[in-house]
């Protein structure tokens, strides 16, 4: 693995060219430097050595310059701190903080956003394994300035070969916070994205001690629901960030455990009373519970591991819906009956599931 000095060399070797290009670009834009609001960019990180350098360089390469960059090192055991400190020593806008003790990922995000300067107008989170397009801050800040009722600005995000968060029609750029939340709850319109794909107004962050209100993976979505009660949601229809997909990221674990399934049920229970009618709430809650058991029935036929079942038993209990074994068995029966309509395909699925479960390369025929 490259040491911290080697990691930063490419950026600073080409810094003059980047600064010149940025100046030329600024001259052609509408946002003059003396009108730029102060932006806080934050990156919470734990053991981010493989990708942190690219993340930091994407911030330094912004064609918007009135910002601070706070990197919060969560007791990393690799070269993360050295990489961050090296960049900080070369650019006064970069500040590095290290937690005295290790905390979970969401708490580290809360520490990061709580560290922004009092004069900050907007806050941009950049995950340590993601990166920004060079125009990201300028585009999002300019949009926010032109629409002062907007509290959160979203954007498209590149992920592998696809583009995420394409729920809004291209001619829709501002919706009321209430309508954005209703679209999410009722129509599966996912535009709140990830922390890397959105810009927060800093006054929203300062309202509470913990901007991200709980420790579950969808804490960022919950933060949007909480904030949008009294502000609008805006969207820039451009790709302004890149998501790096790899096995070590939190979202990979979320997919593996189907941890996104409890999210809808939790959001419906927590925020449905704020944004839905009574009839809508009752209907959506039952749909969310039904979808949960469909997922569990599918997992049972795939021979999900013990850890999976322990996770979802705990989640359901926490949400106030203890695991209903009778309902689960009925769902498994429905799935099984469907599979029996094509016995050969069902057998192949069982064979694949058994192979994945055991890792033994099993072939039953």
pLDDT given at position 335: 77
- Gap between the Cα atoms of 191 and 228, Å rounded: 13
| 31 against 264, higher pLDDT | 264
The count of structural domains within the chain is 2
- Gap between the Cα atoms of 202 and 17, Å rounded: 32
Domain end, chosen from 234, 252, 270, is at: 252
For residue 39, the cross-strand partners are 67, 122
Q: Closest Cα to residue 137, out of 193, 68, 220?
A: 68
310-322 confidence digits (pLDDT tens): 999 999 999 999 9
175 and 275, same domain (yes or no) = no
- Gap between the Cα atoms of 129 and 157, Å rounded: 13
200-242 confidence digits (pLDDT tens): 999 999 999 999 999 999 999 999 999 999 999 999 999 999 9
- Gap between the Cα atoms of 213 and 230, Å rounded: 17
248 and 280, same domain (yes or no) = no
Confidence band of 256 (pLDDT split at 50, 70, 90) = confident
Q: How much is the pTM?
A: 0.84
246 and 298, same domain (yes or no) = no
Residue 24 has pLDDT above 60, yes or no: no
Q: Closest Cα to residue 264, out of 272, 254, 276, 274?
A: 272
Q: Is residue 363 part of a domain?
A: no
242 and 176, same domain (yes or no) = yes
Residue 16 has pLDDT above 70, yes or no: no
Q: Is residue 174 part of a domain?
A: yes
Q: Is residue 201 part of a domain?
A: yes
- Residue range 48-61: average pLDDT? 98
Whether the CB-CB separation of 73 and 103 falls below 8 Å is answered with no
Domain end, chosen from 221, 252, 283, is at: 252
Q: Is residue 55 part of a domain?
A: yes
220 and 290, same domain (yes or no) = no
63 and 184, same domain (yes or no) = yes
How high is the mean pLDDT of the chain? 88
CATH code where residue 35 lies: 3.90.550.10
69 and 24, same domain (yes or no) = yes
220 and 328, same domain (yes or no) = no
Q: Is residue 311 part of a domain?
A: yes
230 and 264, same domain (yes or no) = no
157 and 271, same domain (yes or no) = no
pLDDT given at position 149: 99
Residues spanned by the domain of 347: 257-358
Domain end, chosen from 190, 220, 252, is at: 252
296 and 229, same domain (yes or no) = no
Q: Is residue 365 part of a domain?
A: no
Whether the CB-CB separation of 40 and 124 falls below 8 Å is answered with yes
pLDDT given at position 301: 84
197 and 285, same domain (yes or no) = no
């Amino acid at each position: 693995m490259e040491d911290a000095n080697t990691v930063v060399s490419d950026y600073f070797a080409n810094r003059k060219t980047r600064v010149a290009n940025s100046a030329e670009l600024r001259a052609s834009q509408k946002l003059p430097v003396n009108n730029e609001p102060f932006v806080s960019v934050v990156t919470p990180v734990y053991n981010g050595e493989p990708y942190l350098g690219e993340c930091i360089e994407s911030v330094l390469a912004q064609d918007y310059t009135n910002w601070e960059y706070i990197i919060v090192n969560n007791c990393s055991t690799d070269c993360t701190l050295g990489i961050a400190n090296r960049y900080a020593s070369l650019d006064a806008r970069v500040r590095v903080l290290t937690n005295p003790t290790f905390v979970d990922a969401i708490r580290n995000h809360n520490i990061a956003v709580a560290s922004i300067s009092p004069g900050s107008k907007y806050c941009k989170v950049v995950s340590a394994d993601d990166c920004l397009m060079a125009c990201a801050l300028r585009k999002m800040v300019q949009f926010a300035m032109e629409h002062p009722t907007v509290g959160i600005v979203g954007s498209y995000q590149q992920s592998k070969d696809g583009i995420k968060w394409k729920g809004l029609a291209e001619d829709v750029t501002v919706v009321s916070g209430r309508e954005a939340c209703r679209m999410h709850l009722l129509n599966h319109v996912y535009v709140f994205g990830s922390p890397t794909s959105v810009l927060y107004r800093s006054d929203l962050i300062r309202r509470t001690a913990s901007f991200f209100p709980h420790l579950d993976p969808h804490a960022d979505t919950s933060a949007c629901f909480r904030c949008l009660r009294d502000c609008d949601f805006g969207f820039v229809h451009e790709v302004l960030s890149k998501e790096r997909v790899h096995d070590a990221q939190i979202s990979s674990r979320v997919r593996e455990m189907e941890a996104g399934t409890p999210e809808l049920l939790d959001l419906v229970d927590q925020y449905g009373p704020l944004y839905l009618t009574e009839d809508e709430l009752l209907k959506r809650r039952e749909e969310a519970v039904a979808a949960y058991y469909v997922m569990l029935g599918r997992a049972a036929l795939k021979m999900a591991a013990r850890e999976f079942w322990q996770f979802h038993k705990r989640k359901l209990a926490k949400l106030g819906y203890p695991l209903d074994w009778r309902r689960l068995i009925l769902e498994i029966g429905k799935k099984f009956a469907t599979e029996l309509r094509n016995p050969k395909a069902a057998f192949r699925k069982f064979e694949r599931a058994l192979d994945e479960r055991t890792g033994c390369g099993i072939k039953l025929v």
